[in-house]
Chains A and B, each alone.
Chain A
């Protein structure tokens, strides 16, 4: 079995003449959770979009499970990789059930209705994410936390081996953050789904991730385990700002706070 699920090598991207990613490389093993950190505009979301082929790479290669990503059709790619964009500004005229059913697109044939298996899969994912009671509601009537769970249910229903999550817990209250992270942790630890998530929540990332990749101005500034990332020198280098550190009262893990009270 291939020990690398996704191998990104020397990826560069320019948008509007500006270099957004420069020579970025990353290797992800099956079942790993890799968080991508960095300042706003560092190129984190662009990297996810490159993997999903939403943004074209100018240079570099990406190999998924031994197959070059470029050789896969978009439909075949979506069977392997599910992408959850940022929650802001998203619109859907569908009910929760219908919206999650959209994730079955890579398995549907033209002129056909979703199969019994498709319907079962959607119901199972709604059940897993605690959304069964909301299945007939419209997305516009849900809270931010509920909507984020819908997007996760959708990603699960796509049956992909790799989830790309763009800030999955931004704009959520602490309880929702906890619930979303629990769902993802369950998928990652129990079902072996590999996760690459972009995040600004350094503390949560340090707890849930196996590794962290930090980008700065499109370049890789740090790649390694979470514990080493939570060091003052590393964080200051990545974010160009100072942090204070405290210990978690239960597990003793370091937690970061802004250096100065505003």
Chain B
């Protein structure tokens, strides 16, 4: 761990802070609870239901989603050597949004095993996008990272126009429903969403942790990584599918919540450096922490109404990132 140098202490401080913060979040909302109050409540009390069936699962889903989006951004930023890469860069969110928009526009109403139809449609759209990006990359003259990146960006634009078209053809209610879905939301009832996401996100995180040395090498460039012994083609394919499926699951469940995936990894890099062995954990924790607190704000700022969480993430994260950028001198010059 000497490789990590002084960053190690900062990292453990971050872990403690984030864990404590997330433990506090379920107690906050339109009505705030204290631990003693909660313990004294009968199990059939309304407050008990609000805490255990609404707040706690919502915080868990927010943490898991934030962690997954942040991890996705971190991997794509390293893979594409592009600071502007997000988990949505390869068209996953575009595909998912297209699927959800079509579901709403066509007025479909179904659910499978308790999973809402819009979630299934969004996941289907994301899978369509993943297949198209991979297919186009393989069909390209050179099976390169750039081809993958451009195919993803191209598809994102295509889906975005298709969504506009679907909205244009929709009535007022459907159009609003599409717009609201695109803003993202974390309102869940019970633990179904959390347990649906848990294996996908933890499995994805495990795969990414397996490839942290590879990600470090890839950060310096593809040729350098090959020279160090990384099987770039295999690593890229595995990480592409891992991140895409993980992000697809999150977007299908919560909508395309922007900003977390792009900025959380950058903020962590500024705080603890670029070593992915540490950065992966930090991005995961910070992404989860950030989305959890954005969600707390989204449900308390204008309670009893809610602000879409995607609006909060950008409004809060943007200025914070710029402040960090200016105050810490991006690039850790020494």
Enumerate chain A interface residues (CB-CB to B < 8 A): 16, 49, 52-54, 73-79, 82-85, 90-95, 97-99, 101-103, 105-106, 108, 110-111, 113-114, 119, 136-138, 140-141, 158
Contact = CB atoms under 8 A, between A and B. Distances in A.
A90 B273 CA distance: 18
Nearest to A158: B228
A138 B332 contact: yes
B217 A136 contact: no
B211 A110 contact: yes
B221 interface: yes
B5 to A, nearest CB: 8
Instruction: List the 9 closest pairs (A to B, CB-CB), nearest first.
Output: A78-B229, A83-B227, A93-B274, A106-B229, A75-B229, A105-B228, A74-B231, A110-B210, A92-B220
B226 A53 contact: yes
8 contacts: A73-B231, A75-B231, A91-B81, A93-B331, A94-B273, A95-B5, A106-B229, A110-B212
B277 interface: yes
Contacts of A73: 231
Contact of B229 (A79, A111, A113, A119): A79
Contacts of A114: 2-3
Given A106-B229, A113-B3, A49 B216 contact: no
A90 B210 contact: no
Nearest to A85: B223
Contact of B334 (A105, A108, A137): A137
B219 interface: yes
Interface in B11-26: none
A72 B23 CA distance: 50
A53 B222 CA distance: 12
Contacts, number: 102
B242 to A, nearest CB: 14
Given A110-B212, A113-B3, 18 more contacts: A54-B227, A75-B231, A77-B229, A84-B227, A85-B227, A90-B224, A91-B81, A91-B220, A93-B219, A94-B274, A95-B334, A98-B274, A102-B217, A106-B229, A110-B213, A113-B1, A138-B334, A158-B228
Contacts of B198: none
B219 A92 contact: yes
B287 to A, nearest CB: 19
Interface string B226-257: 11111100000000000000000000000000
Nearest to B220: A92
B219 A105 contact: no
Given A85-B227, A138-B334, A111 B210 contact: yes
B40 interface: no
